[in-house]
Chains A and B, each alone.
Chain A
């Protein structure tokens, strides 16, 4: 019946739900995992090469190379998003392009581009973190609790 939530489905609806699920083409999970493994691994390998270049030619150390490497990956991802290529790779790669830092950059860049038509303040500014926002919020919240736990267990 209209207005009922998922948990309150009557028998007919539950039967149909099962029946529809039976008809649904399954997500190719194994294939998706292989694609994600390959592309995610490739992005990490590129990151590794970039950081080695920074260490070898630009006098960065193991400790300091993280920031410039991330910056290169972020800029690349944002450019690919802007040129309309990132989402096409992502349909093939799935989690492979979503999990690395490039995926995070894509969420911010795509939202910013999408809402440019509503202006720079309310459009770009207000919507840029629409998808990335939850990641930041719960990232900070969980970091807080992990830090508390560490403080209690190890005593600072």
Chain B
């Protein structure tokens, strides 16, 4: 059911019957290391390139998610996935392995929630019984794609962020045990003129603020309704800005209930500048950490606003600013 202009209320409350996350060696030291289902000890994951390593991680996440739900490839009707590599090859190559009817999606780092929102829509409307949504990112593959070679000695500014190496997959169904998807607010692309690719937090904050505002307006809910609200990968810089922007709109989120996945994922002694980023950032935090907390009953109502910077290496070299997007999805146990 459409509420307002851009919010879907899922009346049948599609259920996340299974979720799985995998991470890399650096993630094995992060604050949520116990929430991962599988950790690779090497950045190459036993493959001979970073791109192949990312595909392996994504395949692993999907495999674990299916095992947990005791489902086979044939049982799942649709597979939705996206990532950061050119032409989303990590997703398409994983779909080749899985042989499940596939829709490739791209929302940069907002893909984790874009996937769940679309999967929930398919399940809620009865167009599918089982849908799997997944996403991945790889630190070195992203550096190669967007910035410099991994071993190149360029000094990064304090606003830079660290792309999470990991993958996450969820399986949604009409019935089952697990967190239920209750609503989704699809964001619009917002560009406030920031063009520094080392300051994505500032570029994405206005999109996050806009989607949060619309979500509360269109659902008629108050922020007190949620036990926890998390943005995707704004980092420390973007988080401060989004608090300010929401304050200007009259939304004052309490600090103990509002945080950012990029700020939460790494421990303070891991030098990651302004925080984590990448498709996997919001994915491993939500599909792993938050869903585990929900299953244990520690969080009952969760809102995740995954943020994405829709730039390309070409666009910023041509001096274009960074268009950004944010999608909000709410979960209830």
Interface residues of A (CB under 8 A from B): 1-6, 9, 12-14, 16-17, 19-20, 23-28, 32, 81-82, 84, 86-87, 89-91, 93-95, 97-98, 103, 106-107, 109-111, 113-115, 117, 130-131
CA distance A5 to B195 in the complex (A): 9
Contact residues in A for B149 (Cβ distance below 8 Å): 110-111, 113-115, 130-131
- Which of these, B155, B192, B195, contacts A90 with CB under 8 Å? B155
A90 touches B158 (CB 8 A): no
B316 to chain A: closest CB distance in Å? 11
A13 touches B49 (CB 8 A): no
Contact residues in A for B205 (Cβ distance below 8 Å): 20
Q: Within 8 Å of chain A (Cβ to Cβ): is B240?
A: yes
Q: Assuming the A-B contacts A5-B320, A16-B206, are A114 and B151 also in contact, with contact meaning beta carbons closer than 8 angstroms in the complex?
A: yes
B311 to chain A: closest CB distance in Å? 11
- Which of these, B152, B199, B206, contacts A110 with CB under 8 Å? B152
B323 touches A2 (CB 8 A): yes
Q: List 30 A-B contacts (CB under 8 A).
A: A1-B191, A2-B191, A5-B321, A9-B321, A13-B192, A13-B193, A16-B193, A17-B192, A17-B193, A23-B202, A23-B241, A24-B199, A25-B236, A84-B151, A86-B151, A87-B151, A90-B153, A90-B154, A91-B153, A91-B271, A93-B155, A106-B151, A106-B153, A107-B152, A110-B148, A110-B149, A114-B151, A117-B51, A131-B148, A131-B152
Q: Within 8 Å of chain A (Cβ to Cβ): is B194?
A: yes
Contact residues in B for A81 (Cβ distance below 8 Å): 151, 153
Interface residues of B (CB under 8 A from A): 48-51, 144, 148-159, 189, 191-195, 199, 202, 205-206, 236-237, 240-241, 244, 271, 274, 319-321, 323
- Which of these, B153, B192, B194, B274, contacts A12 with CB under 8 Å? B192
B319 touches A5 (CB 8 A): yes
A99 to chain B: closest CB distance in Å? 11
A87 touches B241 (CB 8 A): no
B189 touches A91 (CB 8 A): no
Chain A contact residues, majority secondary structure: helix
CA distance A14 to B150 in the complex (A): 34
* Closest chain B residue, CB of each to CB of A16: B192
Contact residues in B for A86 (Cβ distance below 8 Å): 151, 153
A6 touches B195 (CB 8 A): yes
* Closest chain A residue, CB of each to CB of B323: A2
Contact residues in B for A95 (Cβ distance below 8 Å): 155
Contact residues in A for B51 (Cβ distance below 8 Å): 117
Contact residues in A for B50 (Cβ distance below 8 Å): 117
- Which of these, A3, A20, A26, contacts B202 with CB under 8 Å? A20
A117 touches B319 (CB 8 A): no
A110 touches B194 (CB 8 A): no
Q: Assuming the A-B contacts A2-B323, A25-B158, are A20 and B153 also in contact, with contact meaning beta carbons closer than 8 angstroms in the complex?
A: no
- Which of these, B48, B152, B191, contacts A106 with CB under 8 Å? B152
* Closest chain B residue, CB of each to CB of A84: B151
A113 to chain B: closest CB distance in Å? 6
Q: Assuming the A-B contacts A91-B155, A106-B151, A106-B153, are A24 and B237 also in contact, with contact meaning beta carbons closer than 8 angstroms in the complex?
A: yes
Most buried by A among B155, B205, B240: B155
Contact residues in B for A94 (Cβ distance below 8 Å): 155
A59 to chain B: closest CB distance in Å? 34
* Closest chain A residue, CB of each to CB of B192: A16
Contact residues in B for A91 (Cβ distance below 8 Å): 153, 155-156, 271
Contact residues in B for A3 (Cβ distance below 8 Å): 320
Nearest first, the 3 A-B pairs at minimum CB distance are A90-B153, A13-B193, A114-B149
* Closest chain B residue, CB of each to CB of A77: B153
CA distance A81 to B241 in the complex (A): 37
* Closest chain A residue, CB of each to CB of B322: A2
Most buried by A among B151, B158, B237: B151
CA distance A95 to B237 in the complex (A): 25
- Which of these, A20, A93, A106, A117, contacts B49 with CB under 8 Å? A117
Contact residues in B for A115 (Cβ distance below 8 Å): 149
CA distance A136 to B205 in the complex (A): 39
* Closest chain B residue, CB of each to CB of A92: B155
A87 touches B319 (CB 8 A): no
A24 touches B153 (CB 8 A): no
B251 to chain A: closest CB distance in Å? 18
B199 touches A20 (CB 8 A): yes
- Which of these, A14, A32, A97, contacts B153 with CB under 8 Å? A97
16 new A-B contacts at CB < 8 Å, known A23-B202, A97-B153: A2-B323, A4-B193, A16-B193, A24-B159, A25-B159, A32-B155, A82-B151, A84-B151, A86-B153, A91-B155, A98-B155, A106-B151, A111-B152, A113-B150, A113-B151, A131-B148
